[in-house]
Structure 1
Amino acid sequence: MDSTKTKKEQLPWELIEEVLSHVPPRSLVRFRTVCKRWNTLFNDKTFINNHTWTFRFILTTKSKIYSVSINPKIVVRELTLDIPGIQPEIKHLVDCNEFLLCCMDKGASVWNPWLNLSRWIKADVSEPSSRFRIDGIGYDTDNHNNNNNNMIVKERLYTTIGSYRKDHSHEAWWGIHDFASEEWKDLEVEPSQGDKEPFLLTKSGVSLNGNLYWVAFYDENDPLYHLLNFSFVSKRFSDLLCYLPCGMNHPRDALVLRVFRGDRFSLLKQCHVTKKIEIWVTKNMISVEDGNDVVWMNFMTLSIPNFPGLVPNKYSYSQPSYFIQHKRLVMCSCDETGKPWIYVVEENKLISKVHMSSVVDPWPLHCTYFPSLVPVPGGRRKEAELHV
């Protein structure tokens, strides 16, 4: 046969996708350079969601860290967070899109558990009586700086924001930590409503498009709550000029803000008395400049007989974690004994209820997590390992 007429045989694209969905995540990072089509595929959330190594919840106890996969069945696996010289006893867990923040006494680990890459951020607290926490990760985009040491991941200059309070004090110090310089800088905070100080209902910020958002209120009698925004560009707090579609009617109501479809918000509310669950979503993508145009729509209302309360006690840390996939709602919550459960709800029916019996300690911290192939910024040694 004439070799000039021989055509290269190629596998069907569907089969290539299937094979790649079984490849370890670290290898996928190296495979980005194979061709543009592969690189585009690895940015596709549908591909990552169908990957066999994908998980959607992280749970931590005093002694263990777990991942929880949902599709096609619920699978719990142990994870390892390796921080040289530090015993990882996690006190607070924050989902920051590409990364997790694992907050501890002396600082926090910025962690991509899918790639098993992490970076330690030391707390900037000189007084031992202070309570420190890191609230979230954001970024500023610098299109004019060509210094490769500063251009971290898609031209994003990643920054964390943290706060500490002296014991029994309501006054908080705020600071920002730059990933490139590894320095903390004091942040001057001006009240967004004159002399009124906001009360943050949520313990950590929800990260969207580089900014952080909290559910906040200025008066305990406010019937509705605000969205408080921190911009890493202006380094300022401000109110997003909209109210949430609901407030808190009972201390054990569930009220959780999440990112929806990558560019807007969803809000879960469960009434403690009736156990009815409402899911609200914003109609359009969120923009700080267009805060006046935020419109909330009711996305789902669930009234399921004998459905458990998602806040089993009066403490805010027991709020549920959840994500929405098409018309399916998946939630993680602890019961009144501290045992963790996964609930899957669709079309006003409880599809499954699974007790995660392999989680050894009661009252685990938990949060949602959508895996990504974004390396932890600034971790140069481990980033280099990905390309070996």
Structure 2
Amino acid sequence: MQGLSKTGRSDVPEVLVFEILHRLPVKSLTRFRCVCKPWSSSFQNPLFITKHHNHHLRNNNLNLLLKRCHGNDRRYYTYYFSQLSTEKGHNFSVKQTVHLPFFENFLSHPQVDGPCNGILCLHDLDDKAALWNPSTREFKTLPQSSIQCPPSASYIPYYSVYTDFDCRGFGYDSQTDDYKVVRFATIYFGGYDEHDPGQGYVEFDRNEKVELYSLRSDSWKEISFPEVSAYGDPLFNNYINGFYYWLGSGYYDYENYILLFDMVKEKFSTLPLPLPMTSGSYYLDLLDFNGLLGALLPQGEGTEKSFDLWVMNGLWTKQFTIDFVPGVERALGFWKNGELFLESSDHELVLFDPSTRELKNLGIHAHMGTMQISAYVESLVPINGRSDGRSKYEEHIIRRPPGGASN
């Protein structure tokens, strides 16, 4: 970098140097770690990390990561991520593909939560979970669950026990500067009745629990289960300003709610839905809309859909309606100027501009229902506690140029 003398000192004032550095992309800062020790140390300083992230957040410097899969047979599905170009005129072309062998089992494809300060949480229906910072390339596998199988299962002849992990949530505790993952677990146990073997396998009972992971302690703990059960896999980012949101159903009144979890207080509470909901009447997706809780309600049948966006700001109000869009399977996420990423009925990625009603095919396709878009701002936040910025889990990340996978 110009301005450095032979002694390594710069003629540029230090304050100005760091004012420039915090505006640079993570890739550049990673290269500059070796310039001098003060720079390397500064890039690990929480104040620098926060200032860097906030600058790119204010300037809406978004990156796009698309999860998808290919394959016509479920036994041979291949899941991977595509990094999309956001440069003007590139039409969101694929820059790079990223494969995570840690989630290579087709039954255990990774669901994505976040981003939260540039970090993503990946998980499957089993016990597998990981944190990933795609900017620094750090990848951290989370420890196994702390939940124990109920001892009451031991009296059942020929019993079997298995646990499903579902409805995760990932967010940030600003009070303790900690990243947390909350997840619901259902323990099923059953077996074959020795007095009536012809009856086949019978589910005798189930037990539901909730556990919370802390990155600071790198451990799980069990927490109180709410009176509202979460359901569904969020398609969008459901972490908003310290709270994570799910759709929920009451255990006792069978009413539908929005269930939220406070990452600081570690407590659950509920909100009403935008509109009364009866079984099968409508479905909605929750999302972060400009820092507020939003609810996107698709209207219409088949591939002729419109979308209503409701926003919670003390009360639910309808923000706008996107009139009928032809050939649409589902919405995937909003872009910078209100454009909406959609999955077409041909299972291709398209971009819809509500102001012009233009529908642009981006030439990227995937197997039905496997696309998920994550728009994130780059971050230097470490997740492995290592000072060199590298991950000891690099073997879990395989990067290929665009030709390494079909569009």
1:232 counterpart = 2:263: yes
Q: Identify if the C-alpha distance between structure 1 residues 41 and 108 changes in structure 2 by more than 3 Å, giving closer, same or farther.
A: closer
Q: 1:113 aligns with which of 134, 143, 149?
A: 134
Q: 1:67 aligns with which of 64, 80, 83?
A: 83
Matched residue, 1:367: 373
Matched residue, 1:186: 222
Gaps of 5+ in 1: 1-7, 143-154, 192-196, 284-293, 311-319
1:135 counterpart = 2:153: no
Q: Give the 5 Å matches for 1:239-250.
A: 239-240=270-271, 243-246=272-275
Structure 1 position 172, deviation (Å) = 1.8
Structure 2 CA distance, aligned partners of 1:220 and 1:334? 39
1:384 counterpart = 2:388: yes
Matched residue, 1:77: 95
Structure 1 position 115, deviation (Å) = 2.2
1:258 counterpart = 2:293: no
Q: Identify if the C-alpha distance between structure 1 residues 362 and 238 changes in structure 2 by more than 3 Å, giving closer, same or farther.
A: closer
Structure 2 CA distance, aligned partners of 1:353 and 1:253? 28
Equivalent residues of 1:250, 1:272 under 8 A apart: no
Matched residue, 2:183: 162
Give aligned pairs, total. 326
Structure 1 position 237, deviation (Å) = 1.3
Q: 2:334 aligns with which of 298, 303, 323?
A: 323
Structure 1 position 67, deviation (Å) = 2.4
Q: Identify if the C-alpha distance between structure 1 residues 47 and 119 changes in structure 2 by more than 3 Å, giving closer, same or farther.
A: same
Matched residue, 2:243: 211
The Cα offsets for residues 126-176 of structure 1, whole Å up to 9 and x where unpaired, read as 66621124612234344xxxxxxxxxxxx5122211222134666421111
The Cα offsets for residues 6-56 of structure 1, whole Å up to 9 and x where unpaired, read as xx899x99xx79x94695464589689499999746522467644xxx522
1:271 counterpart = 2:299: yes
Structure 1 CA distance, aligned partners of 2:24 and 2:169? 32
Structure 1 CA distance, aligned partners of 2:51 and 2:263? 28
- TM-score w.r.t. the length of structure 2 is 0.65
Question: Percent identity of the aligned residues?
Answer: 14
Structure 2 CA distance, aligned partners of 1:308 and 1:249? 25
Q: Identify if the C-alpha distance between structure 1 residues 325 and 299 changes in structure 2 by more than 3 Å, giving closer, same or farther.
A: farther
Gaps of 5+ in 2: 1-10, 34-38, 70-77, 150-160, 189-202, 391-407
Matched residue, 1:298: 318
Work out which of the two has the higher radius of gyration on C-alpha atoms and give 1 or 2. 2
Matched residue, 1:92: 111
Higher relative contact order (CA 8 A, sep 6+): 2
Equivalent residues of 2:167, 2:230 under 8 A apart: no
RMSD between superposed Cα atoms in Å: 4.2
What is the letter of the counterpart of residue 108 of structure 1? Answer: A
Equivalent residues of 1:32, 1:39 under 8 A apart: no
Q: 1:282 aligns with which of 312, 319, 322?
A: 312
Q: Identify if the C-alpha distance between structure 1 residues 38 and 175 changes in structure 2 by more than 3 Å, giving closer, same or farther.
A: closer
Equivalent residues of 1:95, 1:367 under 8 A apart: no
Provide the secondary structure at the position in 1 that maps to 2:388: helix
